[in-house]
Structure 1
Amino acid sequence: MAGLISECFDADLCAIFLLEPRSDKLLLEACVGQGAVKGGRLRVGQGISGLAVFHNKTIQVAHMAMDPRAVFLVGEEPSDNSVVAVPFGHGEDLSGVFNLQSRPGRCFVPGEIAMLEGEVGSSIRTLVSAVQTFENMNRRTGELQALNELGQAMNSGLGLDESLELIASLAAEALRAKGSAVRLLVEDGTLALATVVTETDNSFDLLYEQRIAEYVAASGEPIMIDDVRASRDPQAMGSSLACVPLVLEERVVGTLTLFDKIVPLGTERRLFSIDDLDMLFALSSQIAAEIEDIRLTGRLQELVRTEKHQASQLRALYSRSQAFLQSISDALLAVDRDGFVEEINTVGLRILGVEAKKTPQIHIDELVEDKPPLREWLDTGGQFSNRVVTLNTASGKVAAMANLQPIMEGTTGAAGAVLTFREMGEVGRLVNRVIGVQRTYSFEDIIGQSAIMHKTVELARIAASTSSNILIQGETGTGKEVFAQAVHSASAYSEGPFLAVNCAALPRDLIESELFGYVEGAFTGASKKGRLGKFELASGGTLFLDEIGEMPADVQVKLLRVLQEKAIVRVGGDRTIPINCRLIAATNRDLPQAVAEGRFRRDLLYRLNVITIEIPALNERREDIPLFIRRFVHIFAERNGKVVVGVDEPTINKMSQFDWPGNVRELENAVEHAVALVQGRTITVEDLPPHLNAFINDIDGNDRAMTTFEQAQQQADEAQRQLYLEALRGGEGDIQKAANLMGMSRATFYRRLKQFDLNREASNMRYEYHN
């Protein structure tokens, strides 16, 4: 046909594509002419032919090489031929598409197009239909042959399993189905799956099939369903289903289900017919008789579980329970009603440091300390969760988070209990993933090439290698927390959590419970389960107490006791809980002066400053200022999606002469301001904040009607004004917090606001942060 069409229309090549059933694929069925290829496929909408099917209209292209819609099949040489693609079928119900390729530039006239769409398309459609009809006749002949084979199989004398598998396979073959399933009614009245056969790797939903089969068995009526797929994939099993009861002497003994009617090419739906159902009924009586015969001869006894199989199942169940016991990440103990250990997993053995063979001789109270003792919990059948207990391990006492669940035995009470626990260090690491500070800094991240900075970093590295408490001192904005994180990352505690607490930011009446935790009912509004404190959560890691100089006197006393005894007592509790964390404190205050004024405990200072790290102010290491500037320019340019190559050298030099009372934080703010406002690729003086711009212009000798002393005074006043503004921002508009940041009283801070005309700004910030 393709060759005849090509010859009649003087074309170089003719290709015929057929639409694959229930898909968007076009399969190449014939290709004749110059450059012909074998096989291949297109998607509907792909290439000129695919677009013709998609739009259901003829498409003609004079030069394929110039048309971006053109697509060439695998093995097809790209060319500049002309092409006309014509879909064929019944109206909207398309069967495929054919195309003709000719010399470049050729266009078919309307009369030729009409003939292609009419007589030629109709001829191809008729031919395809005839071929499909012939194939259907061949399939019916095959069905009759399969029925004959099925009859022979009934008398083959095979066992039940082999017979059912052969019956299911031949039934599917007889009715051209992709799969089949046989279910039998067993003695307890349930419908058991006896066999399932498929001709493909795809599976179908047996749970759904079971529900259908149960309905058919109960009603005695057959069911045909058009589409039972869970997936819309055309290749998914379950596009259609037919299920009939297997009836013997008016008694249902099982069901036979067929899946997916295989149909001729081009048919969109795989549905079973009434003829198929009649044939299934004819088969079902023979199948039911064969099944009953096998039952009467005792072959069905093979399906009954033997004692050996049951024992094997029990062994498998025990193996699974042991695998589960050993696979959980928590330690697990199982004890009997008297409190003696019956089972313990590998994690528990490792934490406690005991031998598995000795565990049956150990009582739970020897391993776990609690108030009341765990034996009392066992006697009452009580349970708890997230309770901190003390473990008596081979290496000493260890705090752990535990859960206790009784094993109840009818109405006689607890037959034992299961205790799971996890070391507090591990709990802290898990909590740190949610509420902890992300450790982002190491010593390699600290910026500075000055001699004083090298000396400070070296001291911090040495301190990191110890377990001693560290006090970090420095002005606001010098990077105290950066150093604290770097020390943590380089220490033996680096695998544990890093928790940071700002003592100045916590309300006075909450700081104690925040640090040490509290028990149930400790105060009004307390959680019913109590709460872990930061010391417990930081177990195995580092606790960073920033603004330690702001800690209330009564909390200082309790902190001193914790540092001395390496243990805490929760607010409202009486149990001592051991802790294991490294403490780093930081302040911008003069703590010795605070001690002299009676605002800080001398003995606590001695506990904190075992190693003291003084971080120099930015104006003490001016040679590092250009490094910070370049680093901040890179960060903020990338964050804002801008191309900024840097700051011009004169501006860098002038910025290095500024005193930076806010240190690195103020410098960072200034660079962010400049990057945000710069219009070009290089930052200049004009892009800096106003107070810096004025300072640099003064350095350049701008003509001003004031003395040198007045200029310096103005610069100092402006710097202080900006410092108080930064304090207000740091305190989020709260006067008390801002005063604490500046290390002065609330009244003094108010006087400074009035002195520098900042009352309006303070009012605006309060409204901004609290509304």
Structure 2
Amino acid sequence: MRMEEEMMVLQRVGHMVQQIAEAIAATLNSNVTIVDSNLVRVAGTGPYQESIRNYIPNGSAFTRVLKNKETILIENPGQEEECCACTKRDSCLETFEICTPIIWQGEAVGVIGIFAFDERQKRYLQERKEQFLNFLNKMSELLASKVGETILFEKIASSNKELDAVIQNVNQGVICVNSKCKINHINTKAINLLGLSKSTKELWGIRIQDIWPEALIIKAIEKEQELFDKEEYFEGRGFKKGFLTTVKLIYQDDNVVSAVCTFTDLENIQKFAFRAREKYTNFNFDNLIGISSKLNKVKKKARQVANYDSTVLIVGESGTGKEIFARAIHNDSSRADHPFIGINCSAIPETLLESELFGYEPGAFTGADRKGKAGKIELANKGTFFLDEIGDMPLFLQAKLLRVLQERELTKIGGLKSKPVDVRIIAATNKNLEELIEKRMFREDLYYRLNVIPISLPPLRERTEDIPILIEYFLKIYNQKFQKNIKGFTSEAMNFLLGYSWPGNVRELENIIEYGINFAEDDYIALEDIKDRFGAFLDTRTSTLKEMVSKYEREEIIKCLERFGWSDEGKEKAAQALGISRATLYRKLSQV
């Protein structure tokens, strides 16, 4: 509270000050007035009562009292030195006055004055002035204490409002209870997390056991033991929630007088953890490197479906970037602020896959966590769930997944009730699911549920024009990682890379570049530096390297001429596009 506000506190408790003034007047049989530090009359009796809330005359003795913080006794008002500056000195009706400062924390916050208006009252006050001076000092101390109480009360009230505002706006449930576990305070977040129908005020005074019998705060009070980030669970009507709870005990004279618990939705914490992890894998369509028409066509299709919740099935060979496409779709959708959670169906043993996907209830099977576990589909609620290698999912799990797609709800292992989930499903495979259906290894009904939006990723061998761009991209990454400055590949090595079939696609190309940077001794990676990685391929190919290069050159020259035409102008444009001179183009044409 600012000092100016503290100095005006007498005005805010004017009713109480007036009662004290009237009590003084009755005790001393004289007229009384009380002013604040701004010289505003706060209380008064007799003739002063009509001018309450008005300023007293300028230059009055009260001004000196406030300044010097000392009592003044004036036996001849209007004639003494203290009255020289008063604007009412010539018309002053008072015959005697005593003015005493009200001091609080070393500051004069007001003045008490008692007055006589005739000779009889004057003699009465003069005869008893020592007694009255002592009495006024006591009344001044009383008023100062009332001022202090009022300021303290206002500060506490203001602090309580600030604290309540903080408690109501934190993103955690907050419950305060006394030593008998009766609720002193509960914020709106706690009410919402627990699914309660009563308001904050309606819950005050209720025993916490009546709404949450197993609450950790009860045990903390009983054992006089504080808790930090402990898991606990609340069972409401038709739902069960897990929380991460901290309990702080409040002591007075070594006795627990109250406790405060804060709790956070465990599911939200898990989702936040997934989001934090995904922060460093925040792929978007710009991460899909390439200029080929095939790639751009697929990217355009994926962008178009990103903002809709239709199920997507991504088909492509290993290493073509199926997960990157799935992440890009998610991050370009309205679900981007929610989790992207994936699972590789071929990487997890069949016995564990079901619990990873759907979760389980407490005690669902031998070895299960007694608190239960949320499945990855549930953790992806509001976001996207990515099923990689869907073709390897066991048949019995395919039926459960089909229900999630059809009903938008799941049942945990050992659970009796289903739970609604709001997820977008993106699946991916490098297998021919139609062939698996014929072999009865994949459910036909699930296939049609997944294959709403099919996206087929082209293998790298079908978009060779992207290879130089990808090489440049990966060179930059691994140069920085290994603190090297490899400028590229020799022409021999580049021609080989352009003619290679890339069964491992982009992933294999990235590995080759990392390998080459490790072993390159010059500024450019030579074929000799990487040939060990292609041993089997080099041993089994029927064409020589020179023959392969010539074949590739012929194909590229013909592509350019078909694009620009076989006229002289077309040949000029083709030479520019290929980065060779017109003479070189004619020479190579003679070999076609």
TM-score category, normalised to shorter length: 0.5 to 0.7
* Aligned equivalent of 1:641, options 475, 483, 502: 483
**Residues 598/332 of structure 1: CA separation in 2 closer, same or farther (3 Å cut):** farther
8 Å contact from structure 1 (residues 660, 666) kept in 2: yes
Distance 1:523 1:463 in 2: 40
Do the aligned residues in 1 keep the contact of 2:489 with 2:526 (CA within 8 Å)?
Answer: yes
Instruction: Determine whether 1:681 maps to 2:523.
Output: yes
Who is 1:580 aligned against?
422
Per-residue deviation, 1:489:
0.9
Question: For residues 315-714 of structure 1, what are the structure 2 equivalents within 5 Å?
Answer: 315-330=157-172, 345=187, 385=231, 387=233, 402=243, 422=265, 424=267, 426-433=268-275, 436=278, 438-690=280-532, 692=534, 701=544
**Seq. identity, %:** 34
Deviation at 1:648, TM superposition (A): 2.5
C-alpha contact 2:490 2:525 (8 A) present in aligned 1: yes
Q: Is the 8 A contact 1:437 1:500 kept in 2?
A: no
Partner residue in 1 for 2:35: none
Over 3 Å counting, the alpha-carbon distance change for 1:684 and 1:529 in structure 2 is same
Q: CA deviation at 1:342?
A: 9.7
SS of equivalent to 1:471: strand
Confirm or deny: 8 A CA contact 2:186 2:203 kept in the other structure.
no
The answer to whether the 8 A contact 2:295-2:463 is kept is yes
1:456 Cα deviation after fit: 1.0
TM-fit CA distance, 1:650:
3.5
The aligned amino acid for 2:463 is: R
Other structure's SS at 2:281 match: coil
Distance 1:388 1:494, change over 3 A: farther
User: Aligned with 2:399: secondary structure?
Assistant: helix
Q: 1:681 to 1:375 in 2, by over 3 A?
A: closer
What pairs with 1:14-413 in structure 2 (closer than 5 Å)?
307-309=149-151, 311-312=153-154, 314-330=156-172, 345=187, 385=231, 387=233, 402=243
1:534 Cα deviation from its structure 2 partner: 1.0
- Decide whether the 8 Å contact of 1:404 with 1:420 is kept in 2: yes
CA displacement at 1:693 relative to structure 2: 6.6
- Please tell me the root mean square deviation across aligned C-alpha atoms, in Å: 4.8
Q: Tell me, yes or no, if the aligned pair for 2:383 and 2:423 is still in contact at 8 Å.
A: yes
Whole-angstrom CA distance in 2 between matches of 1:403 and 1:470 = 35
Moved more, 443-452 or 648-657: 648-657
Task: Indicate how the Cα distance of structure 1 residues 672 and 689 shifts in structure 2: closer, same or farther if over 3 A, else same.
Answer: farther
SS at match of 2:350: coil
C-alpha distance in structure 2 between counterparts of 1:334 and 1:580, whole Å: 34
- Paired with 1:498 and 1:543, the residues of 2 have a C-alpha distance of 6
CA distance in 2, matches of 1:657, 1:514: 42
The answer on whether the counterparts of 2:233 and 2:242 sit within 8 Å (CA) in structure 1 is yes
Deviations 1:349-408 (A, max 9, x none): 99999999x776899xxxxxxxxx957769x9799955487899xxxxx99655799999
Give, in angstroms, the shift of residue 700 of structure 1. Answer: 7.1
Whole-angstrom distance in 2 between the partners of 1:557 and 1:649: 53
What TM-score, normalized to structure 1? 0.44
Q: Could you tell me which runs of 5 or more consecutive residues in structure 2 were left unpaired when the two chains were aligned.
A: 1-67, 71-104, 107-133, 205-209, 221-229, 250-257, 549-592
8 Å contact from structure 1 (residues 674, 688) kept in 2? yes
Distance 1:594 1:437 in 2: 36
Q: In structure 1, the residue corresponding to 2:386 is in which secondary structure? A: strand
Whole-angstrom distance in 1 between the partners of 2:202 and 2:334: 36
- The one-character-per-residue Cα deviations of 1:243-296 (angstroms, maximum 9, x if unpaired) are xxxxxxxxxxxxxxxxxxxxxxxxxxxxxxxxxxxxxxxxxxxxxxxxxxx9xx
**Letter of the 1:315 counterpart:** A
Whole-angstrom CA distance in 1 between matches of 2:201 and 2:357: 39
Partner Cα distance (2:279, 2:237) in 1: 28
Give distance in 1, aligned partners of 2:391 and 2:234.
31
Q: 1:377 to 1:349 in 2, by over 3 A?
A: closer
Matched-pair contact (CA < 8 Å) for 1:436–1:500: no
Q: Measured at CA, do residues 314 and 588 of structure 1 come closer, stay the same or move farther in structure 2, by a change above 3 Å?
A: same
Offset at residue 300 of structure 1 (A) = 9.0
Distance 2:452 2:183 in 1: 45
Q: Partner amino acid for 2:310?
A: S
Structure 1 unpaired stretches of 5+: 1-156, 160-193, 196-293, 364-372, 393-397, 409-414, 709-771
> Whose helix proportion is higher, 1 or 2?
2
More relative contact order, 1 or 2 (CA 8 Å, 6+ apart) = 2
- The TM-score, its normalising length taken from structure 2, stands at 0.56
